[in-house]
Amino acid sequence: MYLILGASGSGRREVVADLIDGGEIESSRSAVMLAEGETPAPADENLAPIFRWRWTSGKMIDGALPEDAELIFFFAHGRLNPVDQLEAFKPWLDAQGGELARIICVVNCQLAERHPPLLHWYDACVHFSDVVLLNRREGVGQKWIDGFQARFRRQFFPCLIEIVKAGRVKNPALILEPQALRISHVFDDEVEWVAVDGTDQEIDEEDSDEVEVQPAEDPYFARNAAGRRLKEIPDIEKYLSKETAKSL
């Protein structure tokens, strides 16, 4: 399974249609899962069979894997918090018996350039992604594109960052290669363990005689005592609504 991140209107379905075509994937072997509430797009007719899943009021994924499909492209809801969806995605996928190949983030460069606070939203998406595809670049200066890429290269992110041209990627097979390149360990087969003290603070085992070993928590999943996430991200819906209002 490939998990597709990105804001609504980023051209995700157009890009995935190109990956299916360029990757020479037979339509009978693949399927697409879209969230309820995602409106139809022209690229839908070029996609594999489309199935719908639902985001529940309890922040859970409600949906079943399509039968007989060998490759599934699961689209996160592009108007909701991606971290909430990622947190729910792993237990849902495990329960379904599915296997994650890669997480692909499609970036709407026009949207991100117009709204600088959204860089923190994309920080979260890229943190979990194996591949980052820069789309919707029309009218966006090369300086901004270079700066966006440099933002993650300076932090030594291992993910692959590629340019999308006219809805197409240069090498679909490279994008679909099921090799993990993400910095997050949430979806790793092997659990990462850390030593903590009585305050749940990560420590060096040699620094204390009283330590407890527990699974490492992804920084984007971590919450404080009140239940709020320690790393909060912007509400993508607010910015997409601004874009809609501006076009009216």
Amino acid at 38: E
**Given this model, what pLDDT does residue 23 score?**
79
* 155 CB-contact burial (10 Å; exposed 0-12 / middle 13-18 / buried 19+): exposed
pLDDT tens for each residue of 51-74:
999 999 999 999 999 988 889 999
Residue 205, phi-psi category: left (phi > 0), alpha (psi -120 to 50), beta (remainder): alpha
pLDDT tens for each residue of 155-207:
999 999 999 999 999 999 999 999 999 999 999 976 665 555 555 565 565 55
Residue 199 makes CB contacts below 8 A (sequence gap 6+) with none
In a domain, 242, yes or no: no
In a domain, 216, yes or no: no
* 138 CB-contact burial (10 Å; exposed 0-12 / middle 13-18 / buried 19+): exposed
Determine the structural domain holding residue 118 and report its residue range: 2-184
As a whole number of Å, the end-to-end CA separation of the chain is: 37
DSSP symbol at 120: H
In a domain, 146, yes or no: yes
Tell me the average pLDDT across 105-132: 98
**Given this model, what pLDDT does residue 193 score?**
57
In a domain, 35, yes or no: yes
In a domain, 65, yes or no: yes
Q: Taking each helix axis from N to C terminus, what angle separates 236-247 and 118-128, rounded to the nearest 10 degrees?
A: 130
When divided into structural domains, the chain yields a total of 1
Give the CATH number, domain containing residue 76. 3.40.50.300
How confident is residue 223, by pLDDT bands cut at 50, 70 and 90?
very high
In a domain, 200, yes or no: no
More confident residue, 245 or 222: 222
In a domain, 121, yes or no: yes
Q: Look over the chain and give the mean of its residue pLDDT values, rounded to a whole number.
A: 90
In a domain, 12, yes or no: yes
Please tell me the distance from the alpha carbon of residue 57 to that of residue 61, in angstroms, as a whole number. 10
